[in-house]
Amino acid sequence: MKQHLSQATSDTSRERKLLPWLLLTLVLLAFSLWNLTGRSMWWDEGWTLSVARHWVELDHYGRLRDGELARGGLEASFTVTVPVGVSMKLFGVGLWQGRLFGVFCAVGVILLLAALTDRLFDRQVAWATVFAALLLTMHPEVHPLLQGRQVLAEMPMLLYLLAGYLALWWALRGQWVSLLPAMLGLGLAWISKAQTGPFLIVSLVIPLLAALLWRQWNVVTVIGLALVGSYAVAQGLVRLVPPLLIDPQLPTDHVEGLESVVALVSTPLNRWYALSNLGLFALPTLLGVGWGLHRLWYEQKQHPRQNAYYLQLALLSFVGSWLGWYSLLSAGLPRYMGVPVVIGSIFVAVLLQSLTSRFHLAQSMRKLADLVTLRHPTWAGAAALLALILTITGLYFSLRSLIRYYPIVDFSAQRVATLLNAHPPGTRIETYESELHVLLDQPYTFPPDQIHVALLERSILGANVEIDYDPLTNDPDYLVIGLFARSNELYQPVIDNGSFRLIKKDGAYEIFERIRP
C-alpha cells in the first residue's frame, strides 16, 4: 500500500514539474504560428523554398532556369531543405508550410536549452535561460523565434547541435548508448550550416585535451568517440544523401571565393561593424562567457571535476570560438552572431544568478538601494546594478524587435507573382529576387551563382567590382527588381540604356517591361 502511495506521489510530482514546460511549449507554438506568412520572404529563404517546391511537384531536387531543370546551389543544406520539402508534401506547397519546420525547430531549441541547463546547473537557471533566450536576445536577426519563423539554417542547426550535446551529457554519465544520438545530432549540425564545423571541433577538442591533462580516461573515450563519430556521420551523410536527391547529369553551377567575402574578411570597416554589433547586441553574452570561464576555473580548483564540467567547457568553447571568429574574420552581419548568442543564453542566465544572489530579488534591490543612496555601497549592490542594466536593456531591444516584426503583413511578393502568372504561358521573366521563384509559374532566369560573390563584394566589402552579366542574353519579357538586386545595382546598366521601362511598383518590387526594337 505504501509503495503504491509513494508511486502515486512520485507520478503527481513529475506531472507538476512537467506541466509548466508543457504550457511553455503550447504558448511558444501559438506565438510562433501566429501571422506566420505575414513577414516578407528573405532572399535566402527563396532558394530553399523553390528547391523544396520543385522536389514536391516535379520530383526534382534543384532549381529551374528558364523552365529547364537546373542544379541547386544557394539553398540551405539538405538537412534543412528536405524537412521543409516533407512539410510541403504533408500539408501542401505554400509559405506557411515551408516555414513550419523552422517554427518547430525554434521551439525545440528553447526547450533543449532549458533541458541542458537544468542538467548542467539547476531548474532555476533553466528558467532564467528561457528568459534570456526569449527576452534578452536583442537583435531581430538573432532572436530565436524570429529566426524560426523563416526558412533559414540557424534554428535547425541549433536543434541538432543541442540535441547532440544533451545526448553527450547522458553518455558522460555512463550511458554509452547515448553516444549514438550524440554522434547523429552533432553530425547533422556539422553539415547544416557551413560555419559550424570548425567551432564544433574546437568545442570537443578543448574538453578532450582537458580530460587528457587530468587523466579522466572515461571522459577522453566518450568525447573522443563523439568527435570521431560525428565527423563520420557528417561525411557519410554528405557522400550518401546528395547522390540520392540530385540528378548527376545536370551541370554544376560553381562558386569560388565565397569564403573570402563572408568568412575571411579583414577589411577595417567590417571589423568595426562586427565589434559594434557585439558591443551593442551581444554584451550580455560576452559577459556571460567571461563569467562562465571564471566560474569554471575557480570552482573546479576547489572541487573534483564532474562530468558536467566538460560539457560546460564544450559549450563555452563553442560560443567563445564562434564569437572570436565573428569579431576577427566574419563579414560582421548581425545574423552571423546569432548561434553563439542563443547558446550563450545559458551563461547569461548563470551570470544573472550570480549577480542577484541566486535570484534573491528583494535582497538585490536592497543592496542596489544602498549603493544608489550611498548608505552602504557594496560589491553586491554593484552586481545588482549590472544585472538591472543588462535586463532592462535586453528587454527594451528584444521587445522592440518582437513588436516591430511580429505584426508585419507584406504580401507584395505574392501580388507581383500573381500579376506575372496572369500573363500568357511562356512569358519570360528575369529576376534575382529568389523569393519570387517559388511563387512563379512562368519561366524565369537569373545570373550564375558566381555573380553572387561579386555582388557580396559590392554590398558587404564596399568594393567597386565589375559585374560581368548581361540579362538581355536571356531575352526576358519582364524584369523584376527588389531589395537584393537594387542594393547591389545588378540591373542598373540595362535600366540606364533604356532596355526596359517601369510599369508598376508594389512594395519593394519594381516591374519593368522589355522595350523591343
Confidence of residue 494 (pLDDT cuts 50, 70, 90): very high
pLDDT score of 113: 98
- What are the cell numbers at 123? 531548474
Report how far residue 487's alpha carbon sits from residue 490's, in angstroms, rounded to the nearest whole number: 8
- Look up the pTM and report it: 0.95
Answer for the pair 406, 150: CB distance below 8 angstroms, yes or no. no
The whole-number average pLDDT for the span 465-481 is 94
pLDDT higher than threshold 60 for residue 394: yes
Q: Which tops the pLDDT comparison, 16 or 465? A: 465
pLDDT higher than threshold 60 for residue 5: no
HSE value, Cβ hemisphere, 13 Å, CA-based, for 95: 21
pLDDT score of 13: 63
338-to-128, 417, 503 alpha-carbon distances in Å: 19, 32, 39
Report how far residue 10's alpha carbon sits from residue 12's, in angstroms, rounded to the nearest whole number: 5
Confidence of residue 302 (pLDDT cuts 50, 70, 90): low
The whole-number average pLDDT for the span 103-119 is 97
The whole-number average pLDDT for the span 101-115 is 98
Share of the chain above pLDDT 70, in %: 96
Alpha-carbon 267 to chain mean position = 25
Q: Which tops the pLDDT comparison, 191 or 16? A: 191
The whole-number average pLDDT for the span 40-62 is 97
Alpha-carbon 6 to chain mean position = 44
Evaluate the CA torsion angle 197, 203, 205, 206 in order and state its sign. Answer: positive
Q: Which tops the pLDDT comparison, 379 or 517? A: 379
- What are the cell numbers at 196? 559550424
Confidence of residue 301 (pLDDT cuts 50, 70, 90): low
Alpha helix (H) residue ranges in 335-491: 338-343, 345-355, 361-372, 379-405, 412-421, 434-437, 450-459, 483-488
pLDDT score of 299: 72
Answer for the pair 183, 165: CB distance below 8 angstroms, yes or no. no
pLDDT higher than threshold 90 for residue 16: no
Report how far residue 449's alpha carbon sits from residue 447's, in angstroms, rounded to the nearest whole number: 6
Alpha helix (H) residue ranges in 92-216: 95-120, 123-135, 144-148, 154-172, 179-192, 196-213
pLDDT averaged over every residue in the chain: 93
pLDDT higher than threshold 70 for residue 108: yes
- What are the cell numbers at 422? 496572369
Confidence of residue 368 (pLDDT cuts 50, 70, 90): confident
Shortest CA distance to 98 belongs to which of 108, 113, 110, 86?
86
Q: Which residues of 124-136 are buried (b: 16+ CB within 10 A; e: fewer)?
A: ebbbbbbbbbbbb
Q: Which tops the pLDDT comparison, 304 or 490? A: 490
Alpha helix (H) residue ranges in 193-282: 196-213, 217-245, 258-262, 268-281
Q: ∠ CA(283), CA(285), CA(286), 5° rounding? A: 65
Q: Determine the residue type at 269.
A: L
Report how far residue 314's alpha carbon sits from residue 326's, in angstroms, rounded to the nearest whole number: 18
Answer for the pair 107, 29: CB distance below 8 angstroms, yes or no. yes
pLDDT score of 477: 97
pLDDT score of 306: 76
pLDDT digits (tens, 9 = 90+) for 137-188: 999 999 999 999 999 999 999 999 999 999 999 999 999 999 999 999 999 9
**pLDDT-wise least confident of 60-74, 220-234, 275-289, 457-471:** 457-471
